[in-house]
Structure 1
Amino acid sequence: MLGHWGEGKLDEKLLTQTRLLKKYINLLEKVAHTEKNVFLKDEILTAAAERYLQLAIETCINIGNRIIALEQIDRNLPPPETYVEIFETMFKIGLINEQQLNNYRKMARFRNKLVHVYWEIDHETVYEIITNNLSDLKEFLNIVVSYLQKN
């Protein structure tokens, strides 16, 4: 059991991660307003989009892990062994629904591709994600904000 000192630190870390996620979403939204042909021709912009997308996804993973650690105290949850398992555990404890779980699984897998096989990343795919799927990140942010308000 962590006690009062540890719990306060966990909550502050969760708040910090939440602020970072909001920052990354805002940066990705700015890039998403770029015309597709301009985006695809600008190597610096495509690299920035990939990096901010990676950071946003990793922040969601960090947040999920933190929430599970907080919930672990009361629920005796097994620690997730993969990034996908973090979202599966969030589903099991009722924080996300099945559709969200499917979206976040894809997100975790795309993060792995961004990090481990970055040379295979298609800039058009990145553009499609930032123009059509930022709602998944925003939805995750709203889930976390609701969680923070309840706790």
Structure 2
Amino acid sequence: MIDQEIIESRFDIIEENMKYLQKVQKVEYFSFAENFEKIQAVKHSLQECIEACIDVANHLISALILQRADTYTEMFLILSQNEIISHELAKKLAEMAKFRNLLVHRYADIDTKRLYNILQRELTDIQAFMREISRYLDNKT
């Protein structure tokens, strides 16, 4: 059974972090690149957003008794295969899950330009995830 409180609490985390990320989107690249605190805060906020999306995906997979995912990236693809989110969005979120692994495990230094590009271009994917999940849940009830 889907626990709406779990979904809503993760959406709250996303929305809280999005407010900060959207403020920083307005900062010019060179100003951003020279500000260590801003870079670190963006990394953390992105990580929290991505992890909240992963939590939602994991909860839905478990509650709906879908195919088991071996990786975070697979979770979004499973949601797509079950027509919960679009395939295009699933591919984008799978890439975000890979980026989250870089943030958490520091496999490589995160390029500031790449981080800034994600900030400028990919926040809409997280918002789209929330919309598509909400639409799915609305149609289920």
TM-score (norm 1): 0.85
Structure 2: which 5+ runs fail to align? none
**Residue 88 of structure 1: CA displacement?**
1.3
More divergent stretch after superposition (44-53 vs 117-126)? 117-126
Give the structure 2 partner of residue 40 of structure 1.
33
Are 2:80 and 1:91 aligned? yes
TM-score (norm 2): 0.91
Runs of 4 or more consecutive aligned structure 1 residues displaced over 3 Å after TM superposition: none
Q: Report if aligned partners of 2:21, 2:119 keep a CA contact under 8 Å in 1.
A: yes
Are 2:120 and 1:128 aligned? no
Q: Write the letter of the residue equivalent to 2:52.
A: T
Distance 1:97 1:144 in 2: 10
Distance 1:118 1:36, change over 3 A: farther
Q: Write the letter of the residue equivalent to 1:96.
A: I
Q: Report if aligned partners of 1:57, 1:107 keep a CA contact under 8 Å in 2.
A: yes
Give the structure 1 partner of residue 95 of structure 2.
106
For the residue of structure 2 that corresponds to 1:34, the secondary structure is coil
For the residue of structure 2 that corresponds to 1:95, the secondary structure is coil
Higher Cα Rg, which structure: 1
Are 2:15 and 1:22 aligned? yes
**Residue 103 of structure 1: CA displacement?**
0.6
